[in-house]
Amino acid sequence: MTEVKFKRLALIGIGLIGSSIARAVRQHQLAEEIVCAARTADSRRVAKELGIVDAAFESPIDAVKGADLVIFCTPIGTYGKLAEQTAPALEKGTIVTDVGSVKSAVIEAIGPHMPKDVDFIPGHPVAGTEKSGPAAGFAELFINRWQILTPCGQASDAAVEKLTAFWTAMGSKVEIMDAEHHDLVLAITSHIPHLIAYNIVGTADDLEDVTQSEVIKYSAGGFRDFTRIAASDPTMWRDVFLHNKDAVLEMLGRFTEDLTALQRAIRRDDGETLFNIFSRTRAIRRQIIDAGQETPEPDFGRVHTADDTSTKS
Among 54, 91, 130, 178, binds a second copy (CB under 8 A): 130
Other CB atoms within a 10 A radius of the CB of residue 9 amount to: 26
Tell me: does residue 29 bind a second copy (CB under 8 A): no
Among 23, 44, 103, 145, binds a second copy (CB under 8 A): 145
Q: What is the spatial distance between Cα 282 and Cα 138, in angstroms, rounded to a whole number?
A: 31
Of residues 30 through 59, those in contact with a second copy by CB under 8 A are: none
Among 111, 131, 135, 178, binds a second copy (CB under 8 A): 131
Site mask for a second copy (CB under 8 A), range 240-259, x = bound: -xx--x--xx-xx-xxx-xx
Cα dihedral 27, 33, 142, 223 in deg (nearest 10): 110
Tell me: does residue 144 bind a second copy (CB under 8 A): yes
Tell me: does residue 228 bind a second copy (CB under 8 A): yes
Of residues 60 through 99, those in contact with a second copy by CB under 8 A are: 77
Residue type at position 163: L
Site mask for a second copy (CB under 8 A), range 191-220, x = bound: xxxxxxxxxxxxxxxxx-xx-x-xxxxxxx
Size of the site for a second copy (CB under 8 A): 122
Tell me: does residue 141 bind a second copy (CB under 8 A): yes
User: Considering beta carbons, is residue 56 or 186 the nearer one to a second copy?
Assistant: 186
Smallest distance, Å, CB 56 to a second copy?
23
Q: What is the spatial distance between Cα 248 and Cα 194, in angstroms, rounded to a whole number?
A: 11
Smallest distance, Å, CB 19 to a second copy?
13
Smallest distance, Å, CB 16 to a second copy?
9
Other CB atoms within a 10 A radius of the CB of residue 1 amount to: 6
> Which range, of 38-46, 62-70, 88-96, 278-286, touches a second copy by CB under 8 A?
278-286
Alpha helices in the chain (DSSP H): 16-27, 41-49, 60-64, 79-86, 104-110, 157-169, 179-186, 192-205, 212-217, 223-229, 234-243, 245-267, 271-279, 281-290
At residue 72, the 3 state secondary structure works out as: strand
Q: Which residues pair with 98 in a beta bridge?
A: 72
> Which range, of 4-12, 42-50, 61-69, 124-132, touches a second copy by CB under 8 A?
124-132
- Of 40, 11, 75, residue with least CA distance to 235: 75
Smallest distance, Å, CB 103 to a second copy?
13
User: Considering beta carbons, is residue 7 or 264 the nearer one to a second copy?
Assistant: 264
> Which residues, at least 6 apart from 198, have a Cβ–Cβ distance to it below 8 Å?
230, 237
